[in-house]
A and B are shown apart, each in its own frame.
Chain A
Amino acid sequence: MPKFNEEEILRRLKLLSQLKPTPEATEHATERARQTLTDKQKRRESSNARIWRAIIKSPITKLAAAAVIIMAIGLFLVHQGPSEPVETTKAAKVAKSPAEMMTAISLTIAYRRGGLEAVEQQCEKAIEMFGPRPKSISVRELLEDFNSENSERTKL
């Protein structure tokens, strides 16, 4: 026959339920737990800060940072450098002066490269290089201009 009947069990459980810690003990325990939690958080934060400080102070990190900065500057320069229009560069390589740009060979090259449109562009470029011209010009001025060009050619 079981020794423990339900009444006895309930009596003991009732006794247990009547046990109460003093308010001071509860206050003390709660405050200690709060303090532990706060200290733990502070420790964690200071440990994170220490890790960051160690990372920042490390020579490897400095080297890596310098490498990254150099690479970034290099990439920036590569992408931001003066982009040369292909058409004009090619034209300049082929013909340096407006007169050369308008030769048959130069115009043929331009036609092969981009058809009539390229020929047209090359003509416009040559006109631009000539610069503004007066609406009327006297024969004397024309001859002087021609003579000066001829003398430059003979020098070259």
Chain B
Amino acid sequence: MRNRQRKLLELLDKSGASLHALLTRLTLRRDIAEELMQELFIKLSNSKGLQKSANPIAYARRAAINLAFDWRRSRKRNPVELDVIGEPASKELSPLAKLIQKEDLEEILNAIGRLNGASREVLVMRYIQEQSNDYIAEQLGKTAHQVRALCHKALMHLRDALDAGESLSFEKEIDDAKI
């Protein structure tokens, strides 16, 4: 038991910052990222999978990604956002432009959430965490060439998911107008 606790604290020291950054990017909420960070480590402390896993960092990252997208799915609406993080590129943007940018990010994150586990993980690692193909290959137990192919495929799926989401929201607008 103490051994597991020690391993978790080591993991927190080693990867805590990167996991928190990942959760912040996937939730776009500082407060939620902090909550999910706690939830993540509680889950990891109860999980037997972490002990069995050959790569605890990869296991923790996968758990964080799942947790963040579960939160996105469970959140039907987000009427009040008190603790939205400030985008670095939006300093010179007007409030309207900021709002549009935020919507864009929410839209792409929701689309990523609709992808299957493997595509989602590869996309997050390659494009959101900006990790190299070699590193991703090492983490996923694949070759760099396979990772490149997976990334390309995942981008195609993401485009389809975005288009599907767009048509869904358009249909919803028509239904709302009818009512």
Contact = CB atoms under 8 A, between A and B. Distances in A.
A6 B107 CA distance: 15
A143 to B, nearest CB: 90
B93 to A, nearest CB: 11
Contact of B28 (A4, A17, A18, A19): A19
A99 B37 CA distance: 97
Nearest to B163: A2
A10 B37 contact: no
A93 interface: no
Interface string B89-120: 10000000000010011011100000000000
Contact of B108 (A2, A5, A9): A9
B85 A21 contact: yes
Interface in B49-101: 85, 87-89, 101
Contact of A30 (B5, B12, B107): B12
B12 A34 contact: yes
A44 interface: yes
B48 to A, nearest CB: 16
B24 interface: yes
Interface of A: 2-6, 9-10, 12-21, 25-26, 28-30, 32-34, 36-37, 40-41, 44
A6 B40 CA distance: 32
A19 B24 contact: yes
Interface of B: 1-2, 5, 8-9, 12, 16-17, 20-21, 24-25, 28, 30, 33-34, 37-38, 40-42, 45, 85, 87-89, 101, 104-105, 107-109, 123, 127-130, 155, 158-159, 162-163, 166
7 contacts: A6-B159, A13-B123, A15-B105, A17-B130, A28-B34, A33-B16, A40-B45
Contact of A17 (B42, B129, B162): B129
Nearest to A34: B12
Contacts of B8: 37
B88 A19 contact: yes
Contacts of B158: 9
B71 to A, nearest CB: 15
Contacts of A37: 5, 8-9, 12, 41-42, 45
A32 B21 CA distance: 15
Contacts of A9: 108, 155, 158-159, 162
B20 A4 contact: no
Contacts of A32: 34, 37-38
Nearest to B126: A13
